[in-house]
Amino acid sequence: MLPLIGLLTGIILGMLFRVPVPAWMARYLGIALLAALDSALGGLRASLEQKFNEKLFIGGFLANTTIAGLIVYIGDNLGIEIYLAAVVAFGVRLFQNLAIIRRHYFQIHHWE
Amino acid sequence: MLRAQVIIAVALLLFGFGLVTQLISREQLSERLTAQSEPDLIQIIDSLDAEISSIRSELTDQQVRLVGFEDNETSNQAIINRDKNEIADLRLLLGVEGAEGPGIVIEIRDRQRLLTGFDLRQIIEEIRSSGAWAIAVNGRRLDERTSFWRNSGSVYIDGLKLKPVFKIEAVGDAGLLYQAITLPRGIRDKLGTFNGVSVSVRRQSRLRLSAVRQ
């Protein structure tokens, strides 16, 4: 429940503050968001599996978002769209995590 | 367990905040574009097109310049060589330098003094078009300004009276020059029809002509 509240609070705060993002930063923010979502879902899955480690989670969250932004920057400067690699990697893991989380909830609520 | 939930909630809060910020700014960007009138958009596209084409042409220019720079050394050398050759050719043609090489010697005897400067000019043009690059008449080297004329029975070359035995020396391909003069119905046959005019041509493996001005 708490994660959902956090997500909603974030959405409301974003709507209230309306921070302007420069056009060049949009790509960086996009990939960083994907990394953040991946980390959050990874954390959720770990907590459901009783394996959550907060240091690992916070470190992963920060490292993933930063490195994702860095990959976009490197790709832009090399003229190669390396960020696609990050999109694929995060995307695949995101869906795997989602599937595992879904299964957990099914097990918890005995819907199976 | 609760702690984990809180941390994940914070992460999702950050995610939600970023997501909304991103969505809003993208929406604003597209709103800005839709707010522009059609002519404005056309102008924007036009200016972008112009920018792209100018960048492309600049790129092409730079590539051409690059190729030019790469070729520069060889082409410079080629230009210098070509110019050197041209200058040497011009110096020979203008008679600035002495000429040496194979050629022919034409001797024309005109006992009755019938020949004019025009006849001599004809012979000279004939051998010049056959590739003679240095010509002298009675030892006097010709250049592009040489003139012939006839006055009271004598032929003058650049104002100097010529003796009636004209000795024309020409440096060039001896075989070609010989053929040009001795061609049937050519210049030799034509001059031979004049009374008292005899033309003799002989090939020479080595001729030396002095410069117009020493």
Express each pLDDT in A42-57 by its tens digit.
998 898 888 888 899 9
What integer is the mean pLDDT of A23-38? 86
In the numeric block, which tokens belong to residue A40?
């959050």
What integer is the mean pLDDT of B177-202? 85
Give the pLDDT confidence score for residue B97 in this predicted structure. Answer: 77
Label residue B16 by pLDDT band (50, 70, 90): very high
Give the pLDDT confidence score for residue B213 in this predicted structure. Answer: 58
Residue B175 has pLDDT above 80, yes or no: yes
**Among B20, B107, B162, CA closest to A15:** B20
In the numeric block, which tokens belong to residue B61?
């220019």
Burial (CB count <10 Å: 0-12, 13-18, 19+), residue B118: exposed
Label residue B20 by pLDDT band (50, 70, 90): very high
Q: Is the dihedral angle over the CA atoms B64, B70, B73, B78 positive or is it negative?
A: negative
Among A37-41, B68-72, B103-107, B195-199, the minimum mean pLDDT is found in B68-72
Q: Is the ipTM of this complex over 0.90?
A: no
Structural domains in chain B, CATH included, are: 99-209 (3.30.70.1880)
- Higher-pLDDT residue of B29 and A71 is A71
**Residue carrying the six token digits 């009138």:** B37
Q: What is the pLDDT of residues A51-107, one digit of tens each?
A: 888 899 999 899 988 998 888 888 888 888 888 888 999 999 999 999 998 898 888
Q: What are phi and psi of B156, to 5 degrees?
A: -110, 140
With an 8 Å Cβ cutoff, are A40 and B21 in contact?
Answer: no
The pLDDT > 90 percentage for chain B reads 9
What integer is the mean pLDDT of B200-209? 88
Q: What letter does residue B142 receive in the DSSP assignment? A: P
H helix intervals, B94-155: 117-129
Give the pLDDT confidence score for residue B84 in this predicted structure. Answer: 86
Q: What is the spatial distance between Cα B52 and Cα B73, in angstroms, rounded to a whole number?
A: 33
Residue B122 Cα to chain centre, angstroms: 29
Residue B170 has pLDDT above 50, yes or no: yes
Q: Is A78 on the interface with B (CB under 8 A)?
A: no
DSSP state letters, chain A? -HHHHHHHHHHHHHHHH-----HHHHHHHHHHHHHHHHHHHHHHHHHHTT---HHHHHHHHHHHHHHHHHHHHHHHHHTS-THHHHHHHHHHHHHHHHHHHHHHHHHHTT--
With an 8 Å Cβ cutoff, are A6 and B16 in contact?
Answer: yes
Mean pLDDT taken over chain B: 83
Give the pLDDT confidence score for residue A112 in this predicted structure. Answer: 61
Label residue B214 by pLDDT band (50, 70, 90): very low
For residue B140, the SS3 value is strand
Q: Is A85 on the interface with B (CB under 8 A)?
A: no
Q: What is the pLDDT of residues B32-75, one digit of tens each?
A: 777 777 777 788 788 888 888 888 898 898 888 888 887 777 77
Q: What is the pLDDT of residues B141-157, one digit of tens each?
A: 887 777 777 777 778 88
Q: How far is A51 from chain B (nearest CA, A)?
A: 10
- Higher-pLDDT residue of B149 and A38 is A38
Q: What letter does residue B196 receive in the DSSP assignment? A: T
Q: Is B27 on the interface with A (CB under 8 A)?
A: no
What integer is the mean pLDDT of B109-136? 83
The dihedral formed by the CA atoms of B39, B40, B41 and B46, expressed in degrees to the nearest 10: 90
Q: What is the spatial distance between Cα A111 and Cα A89, in angstroms, rounded to a whole number?
A: 31
In the numeric block, which tokens belong to residue B24?
């809003």
Q: Are B137 and B162 in contact (CB under 8 A)?
A: yes
Residue B200 has pLDDT above 80, yes or no: yes
- Higher-pLDDT residue of B207 and B30 is B207
What integer is the mean pLDDT of B106-120? 83
Q: What is the spatial distance between Cα B120 and Cα B137, in angstroms, rounded to a whole number?
A: 9
Closest Cβ–Cβ partner in B11, B14, B16 for A8: B16
Element (H, E) at B210: none
For residue B80, the SS3 value is helix
Q: Is B33 on the interface with A (CB under 8 A)?
A: no
Burial (CB count <10 Å: 0-12, 13-18, 19+), residue A102: exposed
